[in-house]
Structure 1
Amino acid sequence: MTYYLGVDVGTGSARAGVFDATGQLLGTHAEAIATYRPAPGYAQQATAEIWAAVGTACRAAIAAAGIYKDGIRGIGFDATCSLVVSDDEGGPVPVGRDGVPDQDVMLWMDHRAISDAEEINAIGGAPLKYVGGTISPEMELPKLRWMKRELPEAWARTARFWDLPDWLVHRATNGETRSLCSTVCKWTYLGHKGQTGEGWDDEFLAKIGLGDLATANHDALGAELVAPGTPCGGVTEQAAAELGVAPGTPVAASLIDAYAGALGTLAVDRGADPLSTRLALIAGTSSCHIAVSPDPVFVPGVWGPYFGVLLPDLWALEGGQSAAGALIDAVIARHGASAALMEQAEAEDCRITDLLDRTLAGMAEETATLSADRHVQPDFHGNRSPLAQPWRKGGISGLTLDAGVEDLALDYLATVQALAYGTRHIITEMSAAGADVDTLVVSGGLARNALFLRENADATGCRVVVPDQKEPVLLGCAMLGAVTAGDQPDVETAMSSMCGTGTVVAPRGGAIAAYHDRKYEVFRSMQEDFAKYTKIMGMTK
């Protein structure tokens, strides 16, 4: 038997899964990762802690699968698009003002570089065309610009900058190869220009104050770039002992976590549907909306088009919401009824959202329309797409003096619906530019939330497909392992043979669709109102 190891480093944990050649999960394990927040807007991690968690997760997953380490034919990594900084010996360079030596990772959600992103957008440059016209502080160049200005000593010590998925491959193999997925999506590399450094725009780097990164064959950024799934060498002796695999086990070029989710889901119950009619909605702490097309499609405020970052010769678009599951958690946590409800959830060994779903069901037979006078503007952590305004704030309209569980249930319902309207907004803008989708394939933690699935189907009018495979992100990584091992000829073939089946949630249409049309109109009006308020207060961006 042949097996593949998928490793997913998310915001709060490292997870590993062992899969067979058909895509069946045989064993999995998760290990927590700490996040440090030394100041508002900051979010930092440590690669030493990340790698230790990865090792623990891999060894435990292999043990849970009940296989020998020699059975692992290939390994695929994904991770959040976080910035890793290392010196010329591969050691950590601190990214915080406090200089904590091991904290060498700026997490994707770190927003300290908002002003740098704004300045880069004001300067302009050709690569911005391929990020929806506006660079985000969640991408790497604004973070690099901030670091160069604010931490000059750390900057001088730095020899290599990595996206976390690429750093994991580097740590496993001691190689220098970078994945097109990370460099194109988050570093403004233009993948359609080539894979040996031609895609770095030196003029643009110089204009934004990062011209020193264009020297030495772009070694600090990456000069050898390959498609996801490409062999990047074998696991070193040291890494093999840490991961619990055999030395020399092939390691694939990596993916950003959301793209691993897209790889593991887009072909679920695909049939004869073109991939271009499907959108992968990876909904966890944040959400990512990924679609592919044979031709480049430019959508203002939506990242991309990115060439070759998921499948060879296809372009990808990436929308997203900076807070999805995190928003639901925050809205629940700040309500006065949440503490007692959390105690009840612990006593009943269930999720607090299960109790809120039960509350909503007791309030009305048709729960969707309970929110007629409760509306949420979900941009609590800014708007990633399609407005591309990270400074935006959120809000709730329709509050009363009620502080009971039913009032919290209304906040919860309206928040879930607001996230669905955000997805509808992204889809609408994509469609206007020529990228039409009719199916959402949902993965991530919110794929286990029935209310989230139902409201997305009804609010967008799209068919929602939920993979039967409970760990599709890990499966996407395992597919990379199968390709790099030579057991699958290419990534698309791996998708077709390993994605499996799913469950469909169909939009109901009729009166429910009309209700969501009205709610969506309120949603868009609230976005416009926010712009008015910032202008009135003299805070216009």
Structure 2
Amino acid sequence: MDTYLLGIDNGTTVTKAALFNLKGEEVAVGSQEVKTYHPQPGWAEQSMDEIWAATVAAIRECLRKASVDPKAIAGISLSGHGGGVWLLDANGRPVRDAIIWLDGRAKPYLDQWAADGRLAELYDESGWSLFAGIGAPTIFPWLMEHERESLDRARVNLFSKDWTKFCLTGEWNTDQTMASIALMNYATGKYSEKVLDLTGIAPYRHLLPPIVPSWEVAGRVTKKAAEETGLAEGTPVASGAWDGTSSVLGAGCVRVGEAASVIGTAGVHVVISAQPDLDPERNYSLMYHTVPGLYAKNALTMLAAGNLNWFEKEFCLAERQEAERRGVSVYDVINEEVASVPVGAGGVLYLPFLQGERAPFVKAEARGVFFGLGDWHGRPHLLRAIYEGVALSTKDNYVCMQKGQPLQTTYLTGGGSRSAVWCQILADCTGNAMKIPSGVELGARGAAINAGVAVGLFRSHEEAVQQMVQIEREYTPNPAQVARYEQLYALYRECIRAVWPLWERSWEMGVAHWK
């Protein structure tokens, strides 16, 4: 009987379950969309019960498509979006809807801590430039002031994939990648008491879950979960990892000095390091990789391909109609239009900050900007500017993390990596070769690799990558275009500096909330 590994990826917009053989080939994938609710402007919440229901549906679809004996699945692991607050009571029931990483309600605390110097202290202790939705350090203070009863009822605070893991196994724990999102001290490898004291949340330290490494078994599928999902009772479930590091692993990025970028709804940019090197300028963030002994310098942008998703939904009716007429994807039409416009988008520059920004700077007030519009520009120019704006943001984050050290290779994943024209723009803009791994579900593959290591199918992550990851395409930088993008990058940086005070003034005036 063949052996398989199941990776579950709890994304912000879609939950997926993907089954892999030991060559890393995707045997079957099930998916289910999930909703994000916005009770007030700037807030973002998800129903935990809906997340589990979506996961059950995705697993069942995957198993149905695969037509394999569930007992042939040697191990399961998980990947999921980080940050936020996922509170459970003593009975393992959600205390309230999860407050996710996109949430901005805690911004006043960041303003206060910036003014009194605590943000700098928090970075020096945890390696993270905090943003409003980062998790317990920011959201717990808001709950303590506005909704203390939720914290008092809670018995544990988890993260997205750890909620799914609890539903599968009945065990509540997290892993070192999730816990190191602003909560750990790298000298001790434990939760930081200083972070808890600086943020005022020490009275709720008991809500922080035990830490089980990503590549170790953290529980087994219960009888109840087996009945709901169709999985075999007793199947080992590895602890799993944050989706950024899981996708990096699934792409094959496990060596010091390599980089990886996920151009998904959000942008995740990672440089692998052997040491927990903090940024003297306190810009990039640091966390554990989902590989023993390695660290991930990371920069997490609020939106990457999410900028394109917004523009397509609001302004691309003509492209959708053309795609329907030709029987192709709307993104095929968009890619053709982008490729028809030269570098520089005819003078249009785009700042991709529709949800504020958190890397390489933290600015909740930031908003998207089209600069340089003329009445001769059309949608293709704006679409090209969006592709280039995301690429320039990617370069900006690499510059922050490299600190003058050369990078030559980036493993590129996420929805943006499916676009050949976007891959070439990213290669030309950053000066890095873009390697595109085969397959689509890289976060789930990273989870599957952790499951394989956990149950002993692979002796190491490096061995697993050699067997389970193949490079499908590669894009090399065009030197002439690299030089042009260097000029555009300088303009991009200058544009950010120019609109910075205008963002602040608009926020202070409350223009977005005028009735």
- Structure 2 length normalisation: TM-score? 0.92
Would you say 1:305 and 2:286 are equivalent positions? yes
Identical-residue share of aligned pairs (%):
23
- Post-superposition offset of 1:202: 2.5
Query: What does 1:129-208 correspond to in 2, within 5 Å?
Result: 129=124, 132=127, 134-140=129-135, 141-185=137-181, 187-194=182-189, 199-208=190-199
- Post-superposition offset of 1:493: 2.6
Which letter does structure 1 place at the counterpart of 2:94? P
Give the structure 2 partner of residue 98 of structure 1: none
- Post-superposition offset of 1:343: 2.7
User: Considering only aligned residues, what root-mean-square deviation do their CA atoms show, in Å?
Assistant: 2.2
Structure 1 range deviating more: 514-523 or 452-461: 514-523
Structure 1 range deviating more: 487-496 or 2-11: 487-496
Q: Contact 2:367/2:503 (CA < 8 Å) preserved in 1?
A: no
CA 1:90–1:348 in 2, change beyond 3 Å: closer, same or farther?
same
1:83-127: CA deviation from partner (whole Å, max 9, x where unpaired)? 211111111112xxxxxxxxx211221122122233344434754
1:344-373: CA deviation from partner (whole Å, max 9, x where unpaired)? 323433333322332345x5xxx3335141
Distance 1:535 1:421 in 2: 22
Query: What does 1:301-380 correspond to in 2, within 5 Å?
Result: 301-307=282-288, 309-335=289-315, 338-361=316-339, 363=340, 367-369=341-343, 371-380=345-354
Give the structure 2 partner of residue 236 of structure 1: 222
- Post-superposition offset of 1:465: 0.5
Q: 2:101 aligns with which of 89, 103, 108?
A: 108
Would you say 1:418 and 2:389 are equivalent positions? yes
Q: Contact 1:301/1:385 (CA < 8 Å) preserved in 2?
A: no
Would you say 1:290 and 2:254 are equivalent positions? no
Which letter does structure 2 place at the counterpart of 1:31? Q
Give the structure 2 partner of residue 256 of structure 1: 242
Which letter does structure 1 place at the counterpart of 2:285? G
- Post-superposition offset of 1:153: 2.2
Give the structure 2 partner of residue 479 of structure 1: 449
Would you say 1:507 and 2:477 are equivalent positions? yes
- Post-superposition offset of 1:397: 1.1
Q: Contact 2:123/2:282 (CA < 8 Å) preserved in 1?
A: no
Distance 2:241 2:433 in 1: 26
CA 1:443–1:535 in 2, change beyond 3 Å: closer, same or farther?
closer
Give the structure 2 partner of residue 466 of structure 1: 436
Q: 1:519 aligns with which of 459, 483, 488?
A: 488
- Post-superposition offset of 1:13: 1.4
- Post-superposition offset of 1:320: 2.2
Would you say 1:87 and 2:67 are equivalent positions? no
SS, match of residue 245 in structure 1: coil
Distance 2:470 2:337 in 1: 34
- Post-superposition offset of 1:436: 3.7
Q: Contact 1:127/1:190 (CA < 8 Å) preserved in 2?
A: no
CA 1:112–1:276 in 2, change beyond 3 Å: closer, same or farther?
same
Q: Contact 1:178/1:225 (CA < 8 Å) preserved in 2?
A: yes
Would you say 1:407 and 2:394 are equivalent positions? no
Structure 1 range deviating more: 346-355 or 73-82: 346-355
CA 1:298–1:327 in 2, change beyond 3 Å: closer, same or farther?
same
CA 1:497–1:387 in 2, change beyond 3 Å: closer, same or farther?
same
- Post-superposition offset of 1:130: 5.5
1:229-280: CA deviation from partner (whole Å, max 9, x where unpaired)? 111121111111222111110000111111110010134xxxxxx8223211
Structure 1 range deviating more: 513-522 or 203-212: 203-212
Which letter does structure 1 place at the counterpart of 2:264? G
- Post-superposition offset of 1:383: 2.1
Query: What does 1:436-455 correspond to in 2, within 5 Å?
Result: 436-455=406-425
- Post-superposition offset of 1:7: 0.5
CA 1:212–1:349 in 2, change beyond 3 Å: closer, same or farther?
farther
1:125-162: CA deviation from partner (whole Å, max 9, x where unpaired)? 75422555621113102112112211122222122111
- Post-superposition offset of 1:39: 1.3
SS, match of residue 234 in structure 2: coil
Which letter does structure 1 place at the counterpart of 2:362? A
Distance 1:192 1:283 in 2: 32
CA 1:149–1:23 in 2, change beyond 3 Å: closer, same or farther?
same
SS, match of residue 231 in structure 2: coil
SS, match of residue 369 in structure 1: coil
Give the structure 2 partner of residue 27 of structure 1: 28
Q: 1:279 aligns with which of 259, 264, 268?
A: 259
Q: Contact 1:5/1:75 (CA < 8 Å) preserved in 2?
A: yes
Q: Which runs of 5+ in 2 are unaligned?
A: 510-515
SS, match of residue 312 in structure 1: coil
CA 1:475–1:535 in 2, change beyond 3 Å: closer, same or farther?
closer
Q: Which runs of 5+ in 1 are unaligned?
A: 95-103, 268-273
Distance 1:539 1:173 in 2: 47
Would you say 1:391 and 2:365 are equivalent positions? yes
1:297-317: CA deviation from partner (whole Å, max 9, x where unpaired)? 22345443324x321111211
Q: Contact 1:276/1:437 (CA < 8 Å) preserved in 2?
A: no
Distance 2:424 2:503 in 1: 34
Distance 1:177 1:400 in 2: 54
- Structure 1 length normalisation: TM-score? 0.88
Distance 2:398 2:318 in 1: 38
- Post-superposition offset of 1:67: 0.7
Q: 1:427 aligns with which of 393, 398, 402?
A: 398
Which letter does structure 2 place at the counterpart of 1:144? F
Which letter does structure 1 place at the counterpart of 2:109? D
SS, match of residue 91 in structure 2: coil
Distance 1:19 1:442 in 2: 20
CA 1:347–1:372 in 2, change beyond 3 Å: closer, same or farther?
closer
Would you say 1:530 and 2:499 are equivalent positions? yes
Give the structure 1 partner of residue 12 of structure 2: 11
Q: Contact 2:259/2:270 (CA < 8 Å) preserved in 1?
A: yes
- Post-superposition offset of 1:532: 4.1
